[in-house]
C-alpha cells in the first residue's frame, strides 16, 4: 500500500524556502490522484501538501511499503503516457484522407500502402509504395462528362506517376488520364535490378493476380472524379503495358472488357488467349517496324475474328517504339472511333 509522506518533513522543507515544484510534479500528482485514489486521504490534503514540494522532492509524494506497489504504479504511468501519445495518432490514421481538389490541367497522386510491391518496386529493387496518378484535362468541367484513358507504360510499368504517353496522345485535353503500376503474380523473381530474366513478359496469371488491385484503383478514380463517362473508358499500353492489357483481359475472366469500351495495343499483346471477349469492342493495334508488323497483323486479325472492330496502324521507325509520328492517327481514333 502507498501512503502519504509525513507532514513534518513537508512543512520543514517549505520553511527552508525551497522553491515550488515544476511541471513534472504536477503531472505526477495528477497521475497519483487518478490511479492511487484509494491510497490518498482527501483531494484537499493532497493539493495542500503539493504546494510545499520542491524540485528534488519527487520521491516524497508517496512512500511504498511493498516493491510490487511501485512496480504496478510505474506500469500504469507508462500505459497512460503511451495512450496519450499514440491514441491521437491512431485516430488521425483512421480518418479518411481528404479528397483532392479537382483543377483543370493538374494531376494528383493517390497511394495504396496496403497493396503488395508493384512490378516496378520488384524489378528496380526499390521501396516504392503502390500509387496512381490522375490527370484532369485542361478543359475539365465538373458539370460535363469526360472519357477515361488508362495507358500502361512499358518495361516494368513505372511507379504510377508517368503520364507521358497518355498526355502526348490527348495533348492534355478531353480525356481524364491515369497512370497505374503493374503487378506480378507471386513467385516472380528478379536476380539483378533492372535486368529482365525469364518470364519477363506478363501473362494471364499475372493479370489474374493484378486484377483486384487494378479494380480497386479504378474504383478510386470513379470516386474521386465522379463525372467520368463510364460508357467511354479506354485501356491500353505500350510493349509490356500492351502485354499487361492482354493479361488483364484474360486474367479477369473477361470482366475488363465489360468495364472498358475500347483497347489500344502498341507493340505487344501477343500472348492473349480469349479474343472472343473483345466482341463489339473497338480495338487498335499499332506496329512500329517492318519486323514487328507481321505478328501485329496476326494479333489484330485474331481480335477481328473474335468480333472486335479493329484498326491497324504501322508507323515504321525501324525499332521497338511508340513513335510520336503515330500520335496524330491514334488521336483521331481516340476521338472518332473510340467515342462512338
With CA atoms as reference, report the closest residue to 29 among 47, 12, 41: 47
With CA atoms as reference, report the closest residue to 63 among 34, 32, 107: 32
Tell whether the model's pLDDT for residue 12 goes beyond 60. Answer: no
pLDDT, position 71: 65
Average pLDDT, the chain: 84
pLDDT tens string 233-277 = 999 999 999 999 999 999 999 999 999 999 999 999 999 999 999
pLDDT tens string 149-208 = 999 999 999 999 999 999 999 999 999 999 999 999 999 999 999 999 889 999 999 999
Angstrom CA distances, 300 to 8, 168, 313, stand at 98, 24, 10
* Residue ranges per structural domain of the chain: 2-94, 107-337
Q: How far apart are the first and last CA of the chain?
A: 83
Q: Return the CATH superfamily for domain 107-337.
A: Alpha/Beta hydrolase fold, catalytic domain (3.40.50.1820)
Q: Model's pTM, two decimal places? A: 0.73
Amino acid at each position: 500500500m502507498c501512503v502519504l509522506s509525513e507532514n513534518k518533513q513537508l512543512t520543514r522543507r517549505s520553511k527552508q524556502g525551497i522553491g515550488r515544484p515544476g511541471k513534472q510534479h504536477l503531472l505526477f500528482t495528477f497521475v497519483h490522484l487518478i490511479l492511487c485514489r484509494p491510497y490518498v486521504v482527501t483531494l484537499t490534503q493532497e493539493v495542500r501538501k503539493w504546494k510545499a514540494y520542491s524540485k528534488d522532492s519527487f520521491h516524497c509524494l508517496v512512500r511504498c511499503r511493498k516493491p510490487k506497489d511501485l512496480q504496478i504504479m510505474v506500469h500504469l504511468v507508462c500505459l497512460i503516457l503511451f495512450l496519450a501519445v499514440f491514441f491521437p495518432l491512431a485516430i488521425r490514421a483512421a480518418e479518411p484522407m481528404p479528397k483532392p481538389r479537382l483543377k483543370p490541367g493538374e494531376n494528383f497522386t493517390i497511394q495504396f500502402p496496403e497493396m503488395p510491391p508493384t512490378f516496378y518496386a520488384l524489378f528496380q529493387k526499390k521501396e516504392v509504395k503502390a500509387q496512381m496518378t490522375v490527370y484532369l484535362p485542361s478543359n475539365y468541367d465538373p458539370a460535363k462528362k469526360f472519357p477515361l484513358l488508362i495507358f500502361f507504360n512499358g518495361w516494368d510499368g513505372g511507379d504510377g506517376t508517368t503520364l507521358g504517353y497518355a498526355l502526348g496522345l490527348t495533348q492534355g485535353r478531353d480525356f481524364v488520364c491515369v497512370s497505374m503500376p503493374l503487378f506480378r503474380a507471386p513467385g516472380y523473381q528478379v536476380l539483378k535490378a533492372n535486368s529482365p530474366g525469364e518470364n519477363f513478359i506478363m501473362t494471364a496469371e499475372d493479370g489474374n493476380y493484378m486484377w483486384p488491385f487494378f479494380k480497386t484503383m479504378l474504383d478510386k478514380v470513379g470516386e474521386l472524379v465522379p463525372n467520368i463517362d463510364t460508357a467511354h473508358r479506354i485501356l491500353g499500353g505500350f510493349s509490356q503495358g500492351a502485354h499487361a492489357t492482354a493479361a488483364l483481359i484474360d486474367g479477369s475472366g473477361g470482366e475488363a472488357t465489360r468495364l472498358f469500351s475500347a483497347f489500344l495495343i502498341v507493340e505487344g499483346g501477343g500472348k492473349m488467349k480469349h479474343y472472343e471477349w473483345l466482341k463489339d469492342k473497338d480495338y487498335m493495334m499499332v506496329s512500329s517496324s517492318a519486323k514487328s508488323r507481321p505478328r501485329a497483323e496476326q494479333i489484330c486479325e485474331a481480335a477481328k475474328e473474335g468480333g472486335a472492330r479493329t484498326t491497324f496502324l504501322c508507323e515504321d521507325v525501324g525499332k521497338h517504339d511508340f513513335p510520336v509520328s503515330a500520335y496524330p492517327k491514334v488521336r483521331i481514333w481516340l476521338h472518332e472511333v473510340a467515342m462512338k
